[in-house]
Amino acid sequence: MGFASLNIGATALLATQRAVDVVSHNIANSAVDGYTRQTVSITAATPTPGIPGETGTGMMGTGVVVTDIGRMRDLLTDISYRQQAATAGAAAATTTVLDNTQQILGPLDAGTPKALSDFYAAWDQLSNTPTDAAARQGVINAGSTLAQSLNDASTQLTQIAGDTGAKMSADVDTINGLTAQIAQLNKQILSATAAKSAPNDLMDTRDRALDQLASLTGATFQTDNTGQVNVFLGTQSLVRSGDSFALTLSQSGGTYSVTLPTGATATPGGELGGFMNAVNTTLPSIRSDLDNVASQLISTVNAARSNEITTAW
C-alpha cells in the first residue's frame, strides 16, 4: 500500500471522526433551548493531476474533506416565529393589565358593579317609601359605599399604572442588555467566519437573543453578507454590526415614551408596546369612564334632591 492510499484512508478517518463529533454535539445539546441541529458537509478532496502526455495516469483522488458544518435552520421560519412572538408578547402584556384592572372593578356580583347596583336599589326602595327613615339611611349608606368603591378603584388604577411603568423599565433594561449582547456576538461571529470557522453555537446564542428581543419589542432584523445581524425598531437601528443603541424610557404627565440616543422616538411592539398602550391609553380610558360615572351620579342625585326640595315647597 502506497503513501497515497494511506493518506486517502487518513482523510476518510478524519472526516468520519468530525461527523461523529458533530453527532455527539447534537445529542449532548438535544435538550438545550434554542439549539440548532448541525450537519457535516463532506466532499471529495482536490485530486492530483496526471502526468502530461502519459495515457492512463488520469487525475488521482486524494480522499475527502469536510467543507462545512452547517445549521439546519430556516430563515423564513425565524421571521414568522418572531412576528408571532411579538404579537403574543403584546397580547400577554395587555391581558396582564386588564386582568389586574378587572380585579379592581370586580365581577358583576361584587366590587364596584355591585356597589352601583345596591345604590340604584336603595333609591328604588326610597321611591316606594319616601318618608321612611330607614330607606333614607339606606340611600346614604349605599352612596357612601359606592363613593368609597370608586375612590378605591381610582387609587388602585394609579397603582397598576405605576406597577406597569416598573415592568416597562425592567423590559427596557433587558432590551438594552440583549442589543449589547447581539452586537458583541456579531463581532465574535465575524471574527470566526473570517478565520474560516463555523460559529454555529454563537449563532444559536444570537438567535435566542433575537427571539427574546422580538417578543419584547417586535424588532425586525436583516443579515448582511458578512453574517452580522442588523436589528431595527421600525426604521430606527437597535443594532448595527458591532454597535448597539440603547433605549430610554421617559414619563411625562403620566404618559410614557421610548427614545433612542439620537433623540428619535421609537414605537415598540411586543410586550413593551403592549404595556405602553395599556398605561398610555387603556388605563386612562377606564379612569375617564369611572370619572364620568361619578360625575353623572352626582348630577343625577343633585337634580333629584333639588326636585324633591322644589316639590316640597
Phi, psi angle pair for 209, to nearest 5°: -65, -40
Distance of CA 143 to the CA centre of its chain: 43
Residue-range domain boundaries for the chain:
3-72, 78-312
* Three cell numbers, residue 105: 372593578
pLDDT of residue 108: 62
Beta strands per DSSP E along the chain: 38-44, 64-71, 220-223, 229-233, 236-240, 243-244, 248-252, 255-259, 265-266
Q: How far apart are CA 101 and CA 95, in angstroms?
A: 10
* Three cell numbers, residue 57: 495516469
- Sign of the CA dihedral running 174, 276, 266, 81: positive
pLDDT of residue 244: 96
* Three cell numbers, residue 229: 445581524
pLDDT of residue 208: 96
Per run of 10 residues, the mean pLDDT along the chain (length 313 residues) is: 75 91 93 92 85 68 88 91 96 94 76 83 85 85 85 89 96 98 97 91 96 97 93 94 96 92 93 97 91 81 62 41
